[in-house]
């Protein structure tokens, strides 16, 4: 399977993202993951389709994907050889009604949860084809070097978050159009967002988030109560506690 070349890694570090236009998993493995997602979607109850956060906490079958060499070989050139699984999230934008994802930095929501935000990468796997019409993700290249932005309140009923970055030059935005089974990688600090899905086509992705084990999870933070991380590869460097220790 193709992995990231040195020029690919250089591009990622300069721009804060990389589009991986290859199949991350085999067709059989992707089909199994899709079946698991459809189960979670059918059992979500009152949750919206974009609210299926940390599903691997409840379904250990997902660890077969999250801790697989398919993914870890892809992120290791960015994180280094010592890798922790930080989180995962099924994010589904239903046809016509999928909410907008406001412009944000993931790191802004993790301010008090991790001691530093370098060396954190999200793999966004397309379970459905992602296009500009159905609300694919967009990023502002190079914005991972900006630090934390200023935010203002937005309507949470129409947005997946209740806050949004106040000033964004959307003319610089790069859309992440992906075929089913392809993925993108982005830095936790990059500014990104997505339009609402006003098309007849569903847009679903599985985000798999990893970080170097040199980052320390702040165990005394109330927001981290109950959050679990896994040692995915290598060794711990920061004294973290792992669910698979």
Domain boundaries, the chain: 6-233
Q: Give me the phi and psi of 182, to 5 degrees please.
A: -85, 170
pTM: 0.94
Beta-bridge mates of residue 204: 92
In order along its 245 residues, the chain shows pLDDT tens digits of: 668 999 999 999 999 999 999 999 999 999 999 999 999 999 987 777 777 889 999 999 999 999 999 999 999 999 999 999 999 999 999 999 999 999 999 999 888 899 999 999 999 999 999 999 999 999 999 999 988 899 999 998 888 888 999 999 999 999 999 999 999 999 999 999 999 999 999 999 999 999 999 999 987 655 677 889 999 999 999 999 999 97
DSSP state, residue 49: T
Euclidean distance between CA atoms 119 and 147, whole angstroms: 14
Q: Give me the phi and psi of 206, to 5 degrees please.
A: -115, 115
Euclidean distance between CA atoms 228 and 150, whole angstroms: 29
pLDDT at 225: 72
Euclidean distance between CA atoms 84 and 229, whole angstroms: 7
Class of domain 6-233: mainly beta
Euclidean distance between CA atoms 239 and 38, whole angstroms: 36
pLDDT at 232: 98
**Is the distance from CB of 144 to CB of 106 less than 8 angstroms?**
no
pLDDT at 235: 98
pLDDT at 223: 61
């Amino acid at each position: 399977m193709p992995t990231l070349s040195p020029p690919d890694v250089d591009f990622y570090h300069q721009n804060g993202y990389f589009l991986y236009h290859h199949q991350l998993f085999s067709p059989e493995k992707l089909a199994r993951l899709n079946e698991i997602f459809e189960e979670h979607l059918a059992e979500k109850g009152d949750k919206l389709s974009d609210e299926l956060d940390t599903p691997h906490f409840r379904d250990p079958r997902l660890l077969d994907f999250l801790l697989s060499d398919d993914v870890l070989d892809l992120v290791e050139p960015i994180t280094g050889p010592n890798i922790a699984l930080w989180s995962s999230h099924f994010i589904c934008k239903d046809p016509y009604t999928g909410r907008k994802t406001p412009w944000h930095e993931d790191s802004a929501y993790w301010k008090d949860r991790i001691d530093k935000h370098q060396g954190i990468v999200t793999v966004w796997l397309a379970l459905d084809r992602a296009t500009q019409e159905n609300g694919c993700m967009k990023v502002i290249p190079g914005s991972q070097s900006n630090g934390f932005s200023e935010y203002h309140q937005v309507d949470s009923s129409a947005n997946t978050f209740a806050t949004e970055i106040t000033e964004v030059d959307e003319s610089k935005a790069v859309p992440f159009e992906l075929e089913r089974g392809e993925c993108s990688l982005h830095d936790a600090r990059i500014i990104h967002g997505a339009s609402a899905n006003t098309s007849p086509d569903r847009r679903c992705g599985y985000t798999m988030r990893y970080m170097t084990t040199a980052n320390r999870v702040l165990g005394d933070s109330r927001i981290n109560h109950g959050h679990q991380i896994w040692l995915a590869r290598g060794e711990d460097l920061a004294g973290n506690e792992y669910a698979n220790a």
